[in-house]
Amino acid sequence: MDRATKTGIWIIATGVIVAFLYVGRGILSTFAMAVFLFLVMEGFATAIDNWSHTMRRGAARAIAVLTVLGGFVGFIALMAHGMSQFGRDAAEYEEKINALIREAYGLVNMSDAPTLTHLLFNAQGQRFFATIANATGDLSADLVLIFIYVAFLFIAQSGWTRKLDNIFPEHEQRAQVRGIGDEARRSIETYLWTQTVISALITALTYISLLLLGVQNAIFLAALIFVLNYIPTVGSIVAALVPPLFALVQPDVPAWIPVAAPQNTYVYAAIVFGIVSFWQFSIGNFIQPRMMGESLNLSALIVLLALAIWGVLWGIPGMFLSAPLTVLMMILFAQSDGTRWIAILLSADGNPQGKGGQPVAVPTAKDHGEMI
């Protein structure tokens, strides 16, 4: 087969796969979220199992599931409480935002500054809120489906080994597939577990800082930052911008701000931005790489491209899953000589499968204590 034919086949195959991912995004993205939530629970169960050698695996798994579900319910409760608190102070926030709009119009010598009510309830604002309402409704339905998928994944996992043996009756083939699966699962579990710990650390330090700075509804902002940190690169940037924006429109500025009004609002927002950005930058650039190790091995450019591509294909779920999905693709591409070059391009150091850049090794029968 000549090079032109191979190139044509690659282009057609890529187009078909991309179209399939986009058309089936409603099902595929939900199932992918369930798989990764399942891996988070399994990774937590493994950590509990390693820490307590006397606990049964089933008990460790039950604790992990209840902890993750409890954290999820707690997060929803925090978000609901935060939204209700903002609703109670809506009149004061509206007055402050209107003042900032008038001030901004005055800086550019423009008159007839609109009010927040006018901006929110014009045609564009109504379309925006309709989009948000539809997305919220879809998310609620997807969450129920995700938990159903997770439950069936736990039920079905006991039969995976037997099915694998029946699909790949030859030992070498079965061992290679098992090695690839173990490598992919280990990388994704490490990424998700480390990202959870890092997000929790940043959230805790940010929450304490916001409380000390006097930012209102700090717990709601901290919970929002925890979720945003799961989105690679862009998420941390947005997480650093959200608290100062809320501080900017906060009705009451703490008395310790050493500037007279109205400049104190901007100084206060700048201080909040500096503190929040410090935690994001220091932990993200010094602690996270040490904890993450080589679990990702993706170049920074690939991370940004993956975020954009998966975001277009699957929306917000794709943005959250862009990094682990790209790691999975790199591991799979590295197993074939024909696609290894793609894995090399995706990797950060040019070695998509470790230092040697080789595919997953095939264990021998002696290694497993089996007879071929």
Q: Model confidence over 158-188: pLDDT tens digits?
A: 777 788 778 888 888 888 888 888 878 787 8
d(CA 190, CA 40): 9
Phi, psi torsion values for 249, nearest 5 degrees: -100, 5
Percent of the chain with pLDDT over 90: 9
More confident residue, 309 or 360: 309
pLDDT grade for 130, boundaries at 50, 70 and 90: low
Q: Give the single-character DSSP code of 283.
A: I
- Please tell me the distance from the alpha carbon of residue 232 to that of residue 230, in angstroms, as a whole number: 6
Q: Measure the CA dihedral 82/85/86/89, to 10°.
A: -170
Whether 48 is in a domain gets the answer yes
User: Average pLDDT for residues 54-72, to the nearest whole number?
Assistant: 84
Residue appearing with tokens 């209102």: 216
Q: Which domain holds residue 84?
A: 1-88+122-156
pLDDT of residue 259: 61
Q: Has residue 132 been placed in a domain?
A: yes
Closest CA to 319 of 243, 229, 240, 239: 229
Query: What does the pLDDT read at residue 262?
Result: 59
Rounded distance, CA 298 to CA 326, Å?
A: 8
Sign, Cα dihedral of 365, 334, 230, 129: negative
Amino acid at 202: I
225 is a domain residue:
no
pLDDT at 369: 39
Calpha distance 358→70 (Å, rounded): 41
Q: What is the pLDDT of residue 210?
A: 92
Residue 163 lies in a domain: no
* CB within 8 Å of 9: residues ≥ 6 apart: none
The per-residue pLDDT for 355 is 43
Classify burial at 325, counting beta carbons within 10 Å of its beta carbon; exposed 0-12, middle 13-18, buried 19 or more. Answer: buried
Query: Minimum mean pLDDT among 10-24, 57-71, 114-128, 263-277: which range?
Result: 114-128
**Distance of alpha carbon 269 from alpha carbon 317, whole angstroms:** 30
Residue the block writes with tokens 């309402």: 133
Distance CA 269, CA 357 (A): 48
pLDDT at 357 over 60: no
Domain membership of residue 56 (yes or no) is yes
| Residue 174 structure tokens | 């079965």
Instruction: Tell me if 180 is assigned to some domain.
Output: no
DSSP string, 307-323: HHHHHHHHSHHHHHHHH
Higher pLDDT, 178 or 225: 225
**For residue 34, is it within any domain?**
yes
Q: Which of 252, 225, 231 is nearest to 93 (CA)?
A: 252
- 143 lies in some domain: yes
Q: Is the pLDDT of residue 10 over 60?
A: yes
Residue 368 vs residue 109, higher pLDDT: 109
Write down the residue that tokens 């034919």 correspond to. 5
Number of structural domains in the chain: 1
